[in-house]
Structure 1
């Protein structure tokens, strides 16, 4: 959007339609897996929440555009990098939880999107950036966990492949160096690190023995 190759209105339209479609997929998965929702939310409650979020975000978008005018661009990029790293390190990667990602992880991602939105041109740019980041970092992880529990291992591998290809294509459209670095990091973390761990497993040394258990002695002084 900063290079004006993507319209913010088009991004909001596409992401909104995609979110709506995935919302019905989420309902279908909940019905198929017979999961009980503790909150017992209705469709009306979800629509009210979505409308409230979109309304508040659009109203505050002019503030976001001028929020960091006195801060240098290099500082904004550094803060964005730190917040995205916090999102990666603090994210809940388990597949057993239905909750929205942890507060620190989600806050870091939203703060990073706000920093980037403050460097864009118009209110629509800021609104599109913040909305897309919320959909990506808050809503998508919940649906992804349900998809992981519903599909088999082959389905999970296919989903990971599609996400990786989409991420690589998005990075390559901006910078080829970034796409190559992403590919190298992905291969290292996904394949090399597990293979390294398996190779080191025979050197694991377990020590067994009749250990003396600690005993707590209480001394009672009668006065």
Structure 2
């Protein structure tokens, strides 16, 4: 009999660094919700939102090209073609999204949107991206696809309450860029430049806290408590409960294959 043969001794700093991906994505969702709120209150107009969409798209496209190795003209043309189809289809569907929930009360829309965002956060794949990265061997998980669909439906519900079709197109383009492409861009940065990934995450948290502080104090306090809980309390809690880990191994355990059964 062997006791605690597979128990991994964790380091507090490493666990805190691993928790950055959760805190970072929570800040991204908080920024999207803040943008939704400011747009619904007509603080941000459609022209400003479209400029921000274009800038965000160019930055993400550039990062994806720089982190993709080897780079090829065929890959570049594929990205440009896919993004062109994506934006064109979204622009054509904007009038439908604008009138989609006209017969539904606003209270129902907000309650459903919040519920879908919570589902999105709980099922999101924080270790990868829903879009398959270049050169990846594994396909995205089913839960990550459900999470993505929940975020898209929430975006459609919020966009349907905007005053014009151009507003709808701009906010949907922003939401889909963030929920669909941002995890892929962040995954590529993390894979190729881990220090840059940590710096980006820290700046993102600072910016998000600043935006939420200006938007609503209660929202700011809730986000700050969540970030501290996820980044500090949970890693410390995980390290503390490791001493209570108790596992026994012996000849009664099932045999484990030491080779790939598909070969």
Unaligned runs of 5+ in 2: 1-38, 134-139, 256-263
Structure 1 residues 193-202 or 98-107, which shifts more? 98-107
Higher Rg = 1
- Structure 2 residue 131 is matched with structure 1 residue 93: no
CA distance in 2, matches of 1:139, 1:25: 11
User: Contact 2:186–2:197 (CA<8 Å) still a contact in 1?
Assistant: no
Aligned partner of 1:75 among 105, 108, 112? 108
Structure 1 residues 171-180 or 118-127, which shifts more? 171-180
User: Contact 1:113–1:130 (CA<8 Å) still a contact in 2?
Assistant: yes
Partner of 1:193: 234
CA distance in 1, matches of 2:220, 2:236: 23
Q: How does 1:139-150 map to 2 (within 5 A)?
A: 139-150=181-192
CA distance in 1, matches of 2:57, 2:237: 39
How much does 1:52 deviate? 2.1
CA distance in 1, matches of 2:254, 2:210: 58
Unaligned runs of 5+ in 1: 215-223
User: Contact 1:97–1:145 (CA<8 Å) still a contact in 2?
Assistant: no
Structure 1 residues 204, 162: closer, same or farther in 2, change over 3 A? Answer: same
Structure 1 residues 185, 28: closer, same or farther in 2, change over 3 A? Answer: same
Partner of 2:95: 62
How much does 1:26 deviate? 1.3
- Structure 2 residue 65 is matched with structure 1 residue 27: yes
Partner of 1:217: none
- Structure 2 residue 154 is matched with structure 1 residue 112: yes
Aligned residue for 1:70, secondary structure, equals coil
CA distance in 2, matches of 1:151, 1:4: 38
TM-score norm. by structure 1 comes to 0.83
Q: Which has the higher contact order (CA 8 A, sep 6+)?
A: 2
CA distance in 1, matches of 2:129, 2:168: 34
Aligned residue for 1:42, secondary structure, equals helix
How much does 1:111 deviate? 0.6
Aligned residues between the structures = 208
CA distance in 2, matches of 1:96, 1:68: 30
CA distance in 2, matches of 1:188, 1:109: 24
User: Contact 1:172–1:178 (CA<8 Å) still a contact in 2?
Assistant: yes
- Structure 2 residue 196 is matched with structure 1 residue 155: yes
TM-score norm. by structure 2 comes to 0.72
Partner of 1:218: none
CA distance in 2, matches of 1:76, 1:96: 27
User: Contact 1:98–1:146 (CA<8 Å) still a contact in 2?
Assistant: no
Alignment RMSD = 2.4
Aligned residue for 1:68, secondary structure, equals coil
CA distance in 1, matches of 2:202, 2:103: 42
Structure 1 residues 75-84 or 163-172, which shifts more? 163-172
